[in-house]
Amino acid sequence: MVEKLAHLWPEIVLFVATCIVMVLGLSPKREVRRLCSPVCGLALVVAMMLAINLPGIGATPLPTLMPFAKAVIAGVGLLILLLLAGTVDREDEDAIAAGSRVFDPLRANRAEFYAFFLFSLTGAMLCASADDLIWLFLALELTSLPTYVMVVMSTRGTRSQEAGVKYFFLGAMGAAIFLYGFALLYGGTGSTNLRAIATALATQGATDGINPIALTGLVLSIIGVSFKIAAVPMHFYTADVYQGASSPVSAMLAFVPKTAGFISILLLVSLAGWSYGVIDGRETFGEGFDLPAPIRTALWIVAALTMTVGNVLAVVQTSVKRILAYSSIAHSGYMLVGVIAGPPRTIGAGFTENGVAAVLFYLLAYGVMNVGAFAAIAALDKKDAQGRTVDADEIDDIRGLCRSRPVLGWTMVICALSLLGLPPLLGFFGKFGLFAVGIYSGELPLVIIMGLNSAIAAFYYLRLAALPLLEEPRGTPPLITPFTARIVAGVLSAAGSIGLVAMAGPLMGASVRAAKSWQAMPHRDLSELDEPAESPPPPVQEE
């Protein structure tokens, strides 16, 4: 237990900050309540620094994944935190400041909102530390349950309440599916410990084949976790929830549960394959260590359908948040190509194909550029039919934005083009890595599907870039939000989409080091499979 605590310092820091925030947010003094966001930011900075310096060893099957994954979660979480400014208690705080209402802790939501935000990030980090199915289930639910409430709290309209109900019930269905899969995994291997499961599956695969119960459990687990990454067929909630929630919360949904989901999928698929062999004491990667056919087929179908459904449906949308919602679905399909390609393996001429590293790098790139796209509309205000201030959402709201609101307009242009994968922006390097590992792993049909979907995606991404850049504003342009932090989040995301290109090499190197986790998986001596063991020489008899 003491060894585990050494890898949980980032989560411990976030938990302590959560407790502090829940007290500060209920203070009758406005100056104290405003400390919630700075406390969250300080905790995320400390958690990121601790994550970078984690030892990267432990009982989890993916020990070297922990520092990179937790640092990315904390870093992108800082951008999302800036975007969350003014999401809750906006009208109440204005009324209290004007003296027309006194502070009522029963009506205040700031404490719970920021606490739920930190809880969700903590759950995502705990997924990277999971070494047991029970731990993984609790971490996934800790990631998701706070977001259900945050969706409902994010606006005062009935649309967010409807979105929260849809999200909750479909989330419960997804949790039931992967929990049933976990139960079958336990029944097929006799353990909930991930290393013990990997050893049992490796032993079964080397003899009579993987137990059908365990194999079914793995497939069901992956399908259930697909809800977290908004992959087909667990994607139906995405557009309605993203549109019903406020833009900052939608930006959070597009990154935090998705990251937790992909970490969990990497954990699950690593149990049934992706080990490496040893020949004459030399580590080697080769054939015979790919995923079992049912799992690979399921992932292949889900990847192809996810990117196709996401891109095709995004083309016909008129809501910016619905476009970004279907875009989020499509990006999950792209990243599944890296999951199928698998862990590091030498494929000839000294080249190492590394699908896991491509997925990890793309999660970072997607988190940065996606926050900027949502920030561009979250920083625009307009009035609804009841006279309440709401986020801009319609496609006409960003028309001519580069002329009326240059900072936000160029933020949308840069982030949309980066999401498209246009060079030399950050998204290009992320998508190039996925294409490369898909080609080198022999998944040419899937790469072709990915290329066609990227062409389809160009239609709506170029639309999101062309409307603010080339069109003239129509009517009265939307107002700028009084919360400067949202604009800062968009500017930082756009700057990251450009500036992080200079650090693409070191970041890719960090993702490659994080993908070395699979060297901790059970070894299989290939020499024993290729050659029969030599019988010991007969004993020498003395005369």
Domain tally, the chain: 1
Of the candidate ranges 135-144, 151-160, 196-205, 521-530, the one whose mean pLDDT is the lowest? 521-530
pLDDT of 442 reads 84
pLDDT higher than 80, residue 142: yes
Cis peptide before 424 (omega within 30 of 0): yes
φ, ψ for residue 287, nearest 5 deg: -70, 155
pLDDT of 385 reads 66
pLDDT confidence tier of residue 349, bands split at 50, 70 and 90? very low
Q: What DSSP character marks residue 198? A: H
pLDDT of 459 reads 94
**Share of residues in the chain with pLDDT > 90 (%):** 56
Q: What residue numbers bound the domain in which 171 lies?
A: 2-521
Task: Identify whether 242 is part of a domain.
Answer: yes
Give one DSSP letter per residue of 58-81, joined into a string. SSSS-TTHHHHHHHHHHHHHHHHH
Task: Identify whether 543 is part of a domain.
Answer: no
Task: Identify whether 526 is part of a domain.
Answer: no
d(CA 67, CA 7): 9
Task: Identify whether 290 is part of a domain.
Answer: yes
d(CA 520, CA 427): 31
Task: Identify whether 141 is part of a domain.
Answer: yes
Task: Identify whether 157 is part of a domain.
Answer: yes
C-alpha dihedral sign at 412, 490, 10, 171: negative
pLDDT digits (tens, 9 = 90+) for 451-467: 999 999 999 999 999 99
Task: Identify whether 533 is part of a domain.
Answer: no
Q: What is the pTM of this model?
A: 0.90
The overall average pLDDT reported for the chain is 85
Of the candidate ranges 101-110, 192-201, 520-529, the one whose mean pLDDT is the lowest? 520-529
Pick the closest to residue 53 from 74, 37, 38, 39 (CA basis): 74
Q: Which residue has the tokens 């896991």?
A: 356
Task: Identify whether 347 is part of a domain.
Answer: yes
Counting beta carbons within 10 angstroms of the beta carbon of residue 41, is it exposed (0 to 12), middle (13 to 18) or buried (19 or more)? Answer: middle
Average pLDDT over residues 276-295: 51
pLDDT digits (tens, 9 = 90+) for 182-200: 999 999 999 998 888 888 8
For residue 473, how many other CB atoms are within 10 A of its CB?
19
d(CA 263, CA 241): 23
pLDDT confidence tier of residue 404, bands split at 50, 70 and 90? confident
CA 455 to chain centre: 23
Pick the closest to residue 377 from 478, 472, 488 (CA basis): 478
